[in-house]
């Protein structure tokens, strides 16, 4: 059976003083997964870490960053069939080389680093990804073509 992609529209609500509600499609994504109060969204596009950050930012979103084991599990379910990696919202430049905070310098409340990770030898250029088994790792090559998943 052939898989069919369905566009999902995220709706925004505007409330006026007259209590009239208008809904309009703000963004559309091929995949949307809700976990707790968060949504992971993706068009199954790939790109560099910089492209991923820019794409999510242009949508008014952030690059995905799981805050629990459940969120991590849902995130890896969105990863494509051919390449089982997606960028996560941790970069050594923003984390001041210690990989203990996200891109907005908020402390990480959940991590799932793989063995010998984060690789502290990658101080100035490291970007982080989640792999198919759910572990996180740092790479010095932030130009890799990896899945882009944003969060709302």
Query: What CATH number is associated with residue 124?
Result: 3.10.100.10
* Whole-number Å distance between alpha carbons of 64 and 10: 17
27 forms beta bridges with 10
Lowest model confidence (mean pLDDT) among 86-95, 102-111, 113-122 = 86-95
Residue 3 lies in a domain: no
- Mean pLDDT, rounded, for 15-20: 46
Residue 22 lies in a domain: no
pTM of the model: 0.79
Residue 7 lies in a domain: no
pLDDT recorded at residue 104: 86
- Contacts of range 107-112, beta carbons closer than 8 Å, 24 or more positions apart: 108/65, 109/67, 110/66, 110/67, 110/68, 110/69, 110/71, 110/72, 111/136, 112/66, 112/69, 112/72, 112/136
Residue 84: give the domain boundaries.
32-151
Residue 55 lies in a domain: yes
User: Above 70 in pLDDT, residue 97?
Assistant: no
pLDDT recorded at residue 96: 56
User: Above 70 in pLDDT, residue 34?
Assistant: yes
Residue 13 lies in a domain: no
The domain total for the chain is: 1
Lowest model confidence (mean pLDDT) among 41-55, 80-94, 105-119 = 80-94
Residue 119 lies in a domain: yes
- Mean pLDDT, rounded, for 38-62: 93
Residue 21 lies in a domain: no
Residue 18 lies in a domain: no
């Amino acid at each position: 059976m052939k898989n069919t992609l369905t566009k999902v529209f995220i709706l925004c609500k505007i409330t006026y003083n007259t209590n009239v509600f208008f809904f309009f499609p703000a963004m559309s994504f091929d995949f949307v997964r809700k976990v707790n109060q968060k949504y992971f969204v993706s068009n199954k596009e790939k790109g560099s870490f910089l492209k991923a950050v820019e794409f999510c930012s242009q949508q008014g979103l952030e690059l995905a960053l799981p805050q629990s084991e459940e969120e991590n599990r849902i995130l890896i379910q969105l990863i494509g069939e051919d390449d089982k990696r997606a960028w996560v919202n941790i970069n050594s430049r923003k984390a001041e080389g210690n990989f203990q905070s996200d891109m907005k310098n908020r402390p990480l409340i959940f991590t799932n680093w793989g063995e010998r990770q984060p690789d502290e030898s990658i101080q100035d250029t490291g970007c982080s990804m989640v792999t198919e088994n759910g572990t996180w790792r740092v790479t010095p090559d932030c130009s890799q073509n990896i899945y882009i998943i944003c969060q709302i």
